[in-house]
Each structure stands twice: as structure tokens, then as C-alpha cells.
Amino acid sequence: MIKTVGVYKTFHGSNGRGPLEVLKDVSLSMEQREVVCIIGPSGAGKSTYLRALNRLEKIDEGQIYIDNKLLFDCHNGHNRIKMTNDERSKALLEVGMVFQRFNLFPHKTALENVMLAPVNVRKLTVEEAQKRSEQILERVGLADKLNTFPAQLSGGQQQRVAIARALAMEPKIMLFDEPTSSLDPELVGEVLSVMKQLAKDGMTMLVVTHEMGFAKEAADRVVFMCDGVILETGTPEEMFSNPKNERTKQFLQKVL
């Protein structure tokens, strides 16, 4: 469903700071219905990698395949794949993304936030979009909050609306970028339980997370990333019980 080969990304610093290489030769593949969690210290390049998959960051080198299609084959920042913007955007619609910040429209209700993209991008009728959005909000436990505005919702509820909004586009793959990191601790569980249910339902998920319990319970594979490099990959049991890499061991000793 997702494959990257030799992905590199450098940020060119301002204020006299030199270039910062954030992704170095990152190669990773994931299958349909697989749940992969990326863990690692802050500044490891985890979020940048996720954003590169969704064209929110341009890569300098490497290849990105989504759903078996080669969308990006970059050399010196130039993509050698000839494809119209419409074709590429259509392929990227298969990828839903949930961010740290909920980014909901404050002047729209939960239902309106979820309906927006199916109507404007997928070109559903308002009736179709409303029916689908109501079903999805019920799925994430918010059937009683359809007409509530974001400011009246808790952080956990807002993040569940954001998950519903991504699901309403019927993506084949869901990317989660530290979806619980801006939540109060007591609200984390309600978001993770929705994600665990998605995993059980067979959604293909790539999750950047600091929640080691979620990675242990829901992931098929765990990837440890540090300084822009994937240092180790394994099952949750392998990674948490018997990590091979010294840097992985140090990280897990600190966070567990």
C-alpha cells in the first residue's frame, strides 16, 4: 500500500544555520491492512516522513509508491514522474491524514466539518455526504455531537471529529501524526480506542506515536527512527522485549 525507496530530505536553514538532513535513505514498505507504528525521539524525522507521503513536504531524492503506483521518483528535488496534478491528487485521495492539531473549522459543526470534503472533493450530493458523515461520527462515538461546534467539544472529541473527517473520504490508508500529543492525558484513551477499532476493522494505518501501549497492542510492526534513519524494525514483541540496536534500547529504557 505504501512503499518508499531511498528517501532523502534536507531543510535549508535560515539565519546562517547550515542545511539539516532530516531523512536519510528511508526505505519502508507496508501491506494492505497492516498497522505500522513509527517510534523514536523528537526530531527523528518521523513527522517529516509522514508529510512526505502526502505531498505536504517535497523530498529531494527517492521514490514513493502509494497503492502500487509510483507517484514520486525524485532526483535533486525534481520529480521525474510525468503525471498531471489531477492524476496525482486523485491517487493521494487514497491517503487520509490526522494531525497533532485538529484543524477543524471553528464556524462549522462537527457534522459540517466531516461533510465538507466529500461534497467538495468527492462530489457527493449533500444528502449522501450527510448520511455517510452521520454514520462515521456514530462510529467514532459522537452521534450525539453532530450539531456541536468545535469550541464546545473536548480535545479528544475534536480529534475524533478529525478522524471522522479523514474517514469520510474513504481512504485506503490512514496516516496519524502523533494524534494524541496535544491532548490532556485523561482524553488520550478515547482517541486510541477509536484507532484500535479501526485497526481491528482492517484499516491500513501508519502511525507516528509516543504511545508505547498502543504500539504494543495495535501494531503489526514497529519501526524505530532516529536522526532521520530507520535503525530497527520488528514485531511489537521483538522491539519491546528484545531490541537489537543499542540506540533503540536506550530510547525504550527511557520511555517505558
Q: From first to last of the 256 residues of the chain, give the pLDDT tens digit.
A: 999 999 999 998 766 677 899 999 999 999 999 999 999 999 999 999 999 998 899 999 999 999 989 999 999 999 999 988 888 888 888 999 999 989 899 999 999 999 999 999 999 999 999 999 999 999 999 999 999 999 999 999 999 999 999 999 999 999 999 999 989 989 999 999 999 999 999 999 999 999 999 999 999 999 999 999 999 999 999 999 999 999 999 999 999 8
- Reading the block at residue 204, the C-alpha cell is 491500513
| C-alpha to C-alpha distance for 4 and 162, rounded to whole angstroms | 26
- Strand order through the sheet with 95-98: 95-98, 173-177, 204-208, 35-39, 221-226, 229-234
Decide: 108 and 149 in contact? Cβ < 8 Å: yes
Decide: 156 and 183 in contact? Cβ < 8 Å: yes
User: Cβ–Cβ contacts within 10 Å for residue 42, how many?
Assistant: 9
The partner residues of 21 in beta bridges, in order of sequence, read: 10
Describe the crossing of helices 155-167 and 185-200 by its angle, rounded to 10 degrees: 20
Instruction: Tell how strand 78-79 and strand 69-75 pair up.
Output: antiparallel
pLDDT of residue 167: 96
- Reading the block at residue 6, the C-alpha cell is 531511498
Give start and end residues of each alpha helix (H) in 71-211.
85-92, 110-120, 126-139, 155-167, 185-200
pLDDT of residue 16: 64
CA distances, 30 to each of 1, 96, 115, 254 (Å): 6, 15, 29, 28
Radius of gyration of the chain (CA): 19
| C-alpha to C-alpha distance for 42 and 77, rounded to whole angstroms | 25
Q: What is the pTM of this model?
A: 0.94
